[in-house]
Amino acid sequence: MAFCPTCGTQIADGTTCTKCVPGTVPSTIAVPAGAGLADNVAGALAYVTIIPAIVFLVMEPFNRKRFIRFHAFQSIFFFVAWIAIDIGLSIIGHIPFLGWATLFLWPLVSLALFIVWLILLLKAYQGQLFKLPVIGDIAERQAGA
């Protein structure tokens, strides 16, 4: 038995589909009204890098949803804080008597930030509004405006 390449209906070998004309899309296939990216997936994708977060704040269907805007803003603020912490640690690393401390401090801080990033990503995927202490409040104010 073969299948129609257009609609997927099972047909006899060597025959054409009686439901559709070859090369056209059958009228029985309907796209759900809410088709697209789910809110929890978009919220989690906002944490992948800073680029999806900015895209979700600019694109029309996503920038109207408070959940996605909150996670996009929190992602941006979190990555900015991460970069600021890295710059601060690299500056401290160049101070003569404190430079050795960053050899131990930098991996621990980086691991902690990575774990927080994973938690943010998973909580957004679960559909939860998980707020960081300071950054979350700022993101909530921005998302609500």
Q: Do 3 and 40 belong to one domain?
A: no
Q: What is the pLDDT of residue 92?
A: 83
Q: Do 138 and 75 belong to one domain?
A: yes
pLDDT tens digit sequence for 104-118 = 888 899 999 999 999
Full residue range of the structural domain in which residue 129 is found: 34-144
- How many C-beta atoms lie closer than 10 Å to residue 132's C-beta? 16
Q: pTM (2 decimals)?
A: 0.70
pLDDT tens digit sequence for 76-101 = 999 999 999 999 888 888 888 777 77
Q: Do 22 and 85 belong to one domain?
A: no
pLDDT tens digit sequence for 6-25 = 666 667 777 777 777 555 44
Q: Do 25 and 38 belong to one domain?
A: no
Q: Do 67 and 118 belong to one domain?
A: yes
The region of weakest confidence among 3-7, 48-52, 126-130 is 3-7
pLDDT band at 28 (very low <50, low <70, confident <90, very high): very low
- The structural domain count of the chain equals 2
